Amino acid sequence: MFDLIKFEFKRVISSPLIYVVLGLSLLVGVVSGASGLYNQHYNFFTTLTGESVYSSSTWTALSGFYTVFPIMGALYVTLFVGNDMSSGFLRNKLIAGHKRSHIFFSYIITQTTVALAELMVFTAAALLTMLIGKCSLDLDGGRMIVRFLVMAFSYISMIFLYTAFTLSVRRRALTIVFSTVFAISLSTVGLIATFGNYSVVEYSKYEKVATEAKTLIKTCLKDIVPDNIPSGDYDGAEDMSEYGLYGIYSVEDIDSLYDNVITPMKPFYYTVRVIYVVTDAGIPSDYGNSLIGSGYNDELVTFLDTYVNSMDRILQSFGAFENVSSEMNDLRADLKAVNTTVDYTVLNTVYICKTLVWSVIWLGGGCLIFRKKNIF
C-alpha cells in the first residue's frame, strides 16, 4: 500500500490541477486576510470594542476558507479521482494486483493531504496579509486555533465524502454535480442553520413568554381601547398621537402580530433545529458568536423584549400600566432566563462528535461499496 500511496502522490504533484487549486487557496487566503484587516481598521463590527474587535477580525480571516473550499474541494476530487474511474486507470490497478481497500485508502490519504496543503497555504496567506496590514492578531488564549482545527476537520470530512462517492459511482458527471450541489447547499443552509443552535427547552421558554405577553396585553386592552381606533397599519400620525398609541392600537392588531411574527417561528425553528443537529452547516457563525459571548438567536429575545416594552407604553398612555406592572416585570424576568448563547466548549464537543460520525459513515460506507462494486 505504501508504494501505491507514493505513486499517487507523484501523480498529484505532476498534475497541473493541483497548482491551480493551491493558487486559488492563496487567493482566498489573501481575500480573507484583507476582510479581517478591513473589519479591524474600520471596526466593521460596530458594537465591538477593544480585544473583541481583534479576535473577531482574526476569526474572519481564519474562517474565510469554509465558504469556498468545500466547492473547490468537490471539483478537484471529482475531477482527479473521477478521471481514473472513467478512463479505466483504476481498473488497471486492480489488474496489477492491488487490493481494493488499499486503492480506496490511498485515494483518501492523498486527497486528504491535498486538502491539508490547501489549508496551510490559505492560513499562511490570511495571517501574512493581516500582519502586513499591521493588524493585531488575537488567538483568544489559543482557543482560536482549536476553532480553526475543528472547522478544518469538518472540511476534511467533506473530502472523505467526495472521494468515497466518486469511487462508488461510475458516472463521472453525477459525482461532479452531486458534490458541487452538496457544497453549495451546505453554505446556503449555514445561513439559517444556527437559528436552531439552542435547545428545545430554551425555545419553549421563549414561546411561553410570548404567549403570556399576548394574553396579558389583550386582556388589558379589551377594556381601554376605544372602538373607533382603526386596525392595521395607520399612517395618520396626528390621529395616533391623539390616542397616545405607538404602532399597535387594537386587540386585533395584537393577534395579527403574534400570528404573523411569533407563531411562524415554531415550525421554522424545528426545521432548522433538525438541520443544525445533523450537519456542520452552522459552524462559522456559531464560533464567531462564541467569541463575543452572543447567541445567534438573541434577536428573538430582543424582539420579544421590544414587543413587551411597546405594550408598556400603550398601557401607560391609558393609565392602565399600574394594574399590570408586576406581570410585565415577571415577563422581563422570564425573558432574561431565555439563553440562546452556546458555550465554546459545548460547540467543540458538538462539532467534533458530528464530524466524527459523518467521517465514519463516509469512510466505512464508501469502502464497503467500493469493495463490492463491479468496476469491470
Residue 243 pLDDT exceeds 60: no
Do 62 and 180 belong to one domain? yes
Do 301 and 176 belong to one domain? no
Do 27 and 145 belong to one domain? yes
Count other C-beta atoms under 10 Å from residue 147's C-beta: 25
Return the C-alpha cell found at 337: 432566563
Do 187 and 213 belong to one domain? no
Do 348 and 331 belong to one domain? no
Q: How far, in Å, CA of 36 to CA of 40, rounded?
A: 6
Do 224 and 287 belong to one domain? yes
Do 117 and 246 belong to one domain? no
Domain extent at residue 171: 2-191+344-372
Return the pLDDT at 317: 61
Residue 239 pLDDT exceeds 50: no
Residue 229 pLDDT exceeds 60: no
Do 330 and 350 belong to one domain? no
The number of distinct structural domains making up the chain is 2
Do 180 and 258 belong to one domain? no
Return the pLDDT at 119: 96
- Mean pLDDT, residues 214-231 taken together: 60
Highest mean pLDDT among 68-82, 107-121, 203-217, 247-261: 107-121
The closest of 328, 292, 350 to 212, measured between CA atoms, is: 328
Do 51 and 152 belong to one domain? yes
Do 298 and 366 belong to one domain? no
The closest of 53, 45, 29 to 130, measured between CA atoms, is: 29
Do 135 and 207 belong to one domain? no
Q: What is the pLDDT of residues 84-119, one digit of tens each?
A: 777 777 778 877 777 888 888 999 999 999 999 999
Return the C-alpha cell found at 234: 395607520
**Alpha helices, H only, 318-343:** 321-336
Residue 266 pLDDT exceeds 90: no
